[in-house]
Amino acid sequence: MQFGIFTVGDVTTDPTTGHTPTEHERIKATIAIARKAEEVGLDVFATGEHHNPPFVPSAPTTTLAHIAAQTSTLLLSTSTTLITTTDPVRIAEDYATLQHLSDGRVDLMMGRGNTGPVYPWFGKDIRDGIPLAIENYHLLRRLWREEVVDWEGKFRTPLQGFTATPRPLDGVPPFVWHGSIRSPEIAEQAAYYGDGFFANHIFWPASHTERMVGYYRSRFEHYGHGSADQAIVGLGGQVFMRRNSQDAVREFRPYFDNAPVYGHGPSLEDFTSQTPLTVGSPQEVIERTLGFREYVGDYQRQLFLMDHAGLPLKTVLEQLDLLGEEVVPVLRKEFAARKPAHVLDAPTHASLLAARTAADAEVSA
């Protein structure tokens, strides 16, 4: 099982000090956080993509390539890549390049984005969100898998005799996850291709995630990629820890109360009971996280949101120490002990390459 962190990349004022980081500070902090993730033994770092303030990550492959150059094992991913408003040709080229630079340490999570004006800024219409995600991703797959592509669709200028360069590393396209909070069409899409499905699992109750993941699993089996319990599932999550539970609650409360999205709404206590948010000791985080598999089944990837709502870099790095040193080692052991042998890990470049080599050998034998 893979453990990691994902970031939205928001520039938010620290409500306890009134300090707002500059964009420069926020971007540099993102790099420090990613490096720390590898240092404390996490597997994955994923960045969001946004094209409006107060967010900084508009150029995810630039940031991820910079991180790739400063790390050696960390898997670089996205949370999410805007498949609706980004030209699939650019995605094919940018992420294939990143694959080469990082020696295959890349996968992607496709998402639609939920900021209305971003669509018209990029010449699209938000009402086409689902059709854009479907058509663009279908083209992206072909660009990575077919040397020469002839293509015509509704949303992009046609391609005649087009070859996306560079070709994917070793001819193996990056593994793809599809993220959606509430659209069954996207779970359907992930299931159809046998891709991974990632549930945000932050803003909505567990019962909602259970339904989305259950749907994806049954459709994964329907499309013949394996049994439902072999479908490839990732979950988000949100935690804040201190050794002493009361200290965690006291320190996190002002960030929670003023946070973007849910701030000034439910109390911290209500929200932790209604959603998977856990604020407490490392042991509490371990117990809550182990409980996730009771409603989504055995899953392959757990990402935590750690650096939002104005939390200072120093605090985020302390959180990563606790996560990497006290929480994840226990989770690795406990999840592994519970997982049946026929449920596989999430595909990586190495495993996809090995599978293709084995398939090629079978054909020639």
Partner 1 sequence: MTRLVTVVTAGLSQPSSTRLLADQLAAATDRALRLAGEDVRIEVLELRDLAHAVTDNLLTGFPSGALADAVALVRDADALVAVTPIFSASYSGLFKSFFDVLEDGTLEGKPVLLGATAGTARHSLALEFALRPLFAYLRADVVPTAVFAASEDFGAVTPSGSLASRVDRAGRELADAVTGRARSGPVDPFENPTPFEDLLRK
- Sort residue 129 into left (φ over 0), alpha (ψ -120 to 50) or beta: alpha
Between residues 80 and 102, which has the closer beta carbon with respect to partner 1? 80
Residue 225 near residue 194 (C-beta atoms within 8 A): yes
Using the rule CB under 8 A, is 219 a contact of partner 1? yes
Min dist CB 199 to partner 1, Å, is 14
| Interaction of residue 122 with partner 1, rule CB under 8 A | no
Q: Which of 351, 352, 357 is nearest to 172 (CA)?
A: 352
> Considering only residues 230-269, where is the footprint of partner 1 by CB under 8 A?
261-266
We find the least distance from the C-beta atom of residue 196 to partner 1, in angstroms, to be 16
Pick between residue 261 and residue 336 the one whose CB is nearest to partner 1. 261
Residue 322, H or E segment: helix 313-322
From the list 267, 251, 225, 264, the residue with the least C-alpha distance to 318 is 251
List binders of partner 1 among 159-198 (CB under 8 A): 184-185, 188-189, 191-192
CB 42, min distance to partner 1, A: 28
Choose the binding region for partner 1 from 11-19, 79-87, 127-135, 353-361 (rule: CB under 8 A). Answer: 127-135
Q: Which is nearer to partner 1, 146 or 325 (CB)?
A: 146
* Minimum CB distance to partner 1 smaller for 162 or for 203: 203
What gap in Å lies between CA 324 and CA 35, rounded to an integer? 12
Residue 19 CB, nearest approach to partner 1 (Å): 25
Q: What is the DSSP letter of 323?
A: I
What's the min distance (Å) between Cβ of 296 and partner 1? 15
Least distance (Å) from partner 1 to the CB of residue 185? 6
Q: What's the closest the beta carbon of residue 63 comes to partner 1, in angstroms? A: 28
Q: Assign 175 to helix, strand or coil.
A: strand
Among the listed residues 326, 317, 330, the one whose alpha carbon sits nearest the alpha carbon of residue 282: 326
Tell whether residue 215 is a contact of partner 1 (CB under 8 A).
yes
Contact call for residue 155 and partner 1 (CB under 8 A) = no
Distance separating alpha carbons of residues 318 and 323, to the nearest angstrom: 9
Q: Which tokens sit at 31?
A: 């790099």
Q: Are 198 and 235 in contact (CB under 8 A)?
A: yes
Q: 129-145 and 184-193 are packed helices; what angle lies between their axes, rounded to 10 degrees? A: 20
Query: What residues contact 321, with CB distance under 8 A and at least 6 apart?
Result: 36, 40
The nearer residue to partner 1, 160 or 207, going by C-beta atoms, is 207
Residues at the contact surface with partner 1, assessed by CB under 8 A: 130-131, 134, 138, 184-185, 188-189, 191-192, 203-205, 208, 211, 215, 219, 223, 261-266, 270-271, 274
